[in-house]
Structures are given as structure tokens and as C-alpha cells.
Structure 1
Amino acid sequence: MENLILKKELSNHELHLLGSEMEKRKKSTVVTWLLWLFLGGFGGHRCYLGRVGSGVAMTLTLGGLGIWALIDAFFINGMLKKKNEEIEATILQEIKQVNQKAAL
């Protein structure tokens, strides 16, 4: 929700810049699902989404003997959406900082 408010304050050029940066930095749905499919028991998808601690825990427990990895199938899209929202928030803050420096 906060991202939406910050986006309303941006010019067309800044929105284009945001879109361009998001295309470069966002986490891919396909890559996330492939990592889950092939490395789900080792937490590969969690490491890719920046959840290294739980990814290591999955590695040590072999994905809770597969149960944890199976449960993640239901939550992976939410984790991906949250991570991409965090990336967007970071980019918005960077744009805001550049604007503040330019105003000085």
C-alpha cells in the first residue's frame, strides 16, 4: 500500500525508471518454481527469495523430510510477491533520495 502512495507522487519519467529497474531486479516466477521443483528439499527457492536462514534450515532438515517443501508449494507465490514488493520499495526509496539530492 505504501508503494502505491509513493508511486502516485512520481513523474512519468520516474515511473518509467521504476519499471525499468523492476524488470532488472525483480525475482522471476519461473525461476522460483524451478528452484522449488528441483531444489525445494534443500531450500533453493527460499535462498533465491532472500530467506537464507530458512533456506539453510531446509537444507539441514532436507525440507523437513519433504513436508516443508510441499507446504511451500502453497505459499511460494505469496513469498515471491512480498519479495518483489520489497524490491519495489527499495527502488522507490532510491528514486526519492536522488530527488532530494537534486533539490539541494
Structure 2
Amino acid sequence: MSSLLQKQNLTSEQLQLLASEMSKKQKSGGIAWLLWFFTGGFGGHRFYLGKVGTGVAMLLTLGGLGIWTLIDLFLLSGMIRDTNERIENEILSEIRLLSHAKANSKVAAG
């Protein structure tokens, strides 16, 4: 389900919580690009984006002898977007769980 559809049913309090959590957890495009530029051959940008497995592979192969690093020049924007969408979906799931738990506790108390 797209995050836009998930956000439609949120209250203003939940939307504020989402924005607050996203500002804490989202990955910066600027930092990812700087890491690619300075540590691309070692996979620093991939570690930053939570792609530890491919980061280790890049580290061990020196970025596929530079080829993988060059390919990431074209893939990095999509990786940043995908990582931030994943983070947003995780936060939305936590908000839904929290709202269900609150609703269940009100029913149990009432």
C-alpha cells in the first residue's frame, strides 16, 4: 500500500508524530552523496543507507575495482528514496500499532 493512502486516515497528531520521527530517522541525500564521493570504493554510502551486505561486498572488492562505485553514481538517488520510503512505512506501521493498542485499551477500560 502506498504511503499516501496510509497517511489519508491519520489524525493531525499522528501526522505530526510521523513528521517528527521522519526528521529523526530519514537519510540525508547530501550525506549519502558525500559518502559516495569520499568513501564510494569502500561502500560507505551503502553502509549509511542500511545496505550492509552490499557495503561489505564493496569493501572487500574495493567497489568492484571502481566499476560498482561508478554504477552507484546512477543508482544512489533511487537508493536514498527507497531507504526513506522504507523508513516511512516502518514508522506508519508503528503508528498503526500504537493507535490499535490505544483503541483496545479504551475498549478494555470502558
Question: Which interval holds the TM-score relative to the shorter structure?
Answer: over 0.9
User: Residues 14-65 of structure 1, C-alpha deviation per residue, up to 9 Å, x if partnerless?
Assistant: 1111011100000011110111011000001001111111110001110011
Percent identity between the two aligned chains: 56
**C-alpha deviation, 1:12, in angstroms:** 1.1
Gaps of 5+ in 2: 105-110
Gaps of 5+ in 1: none
CA RMSD across the alignment: 0.8
1:65-84 counterparts in 2 under 5 A?
Answer: 65-84=65-84
Count of aligned positions: 104
Distance across 2 between alignment mates of 1:91 and 1:49:
16
Tell me the TM-score normalised to structure 1 length: 0.97
Larger Rg: 2
Tell me the TM-score normalised to structure 2 length: 0.92
- Show structure 1 runs of 4+ deviating over 3 A: none
Q: Secondary structure at the match of 1:50?
A: coil
Distance across 2 between alignment mates of 1:65 and 1:21:
38
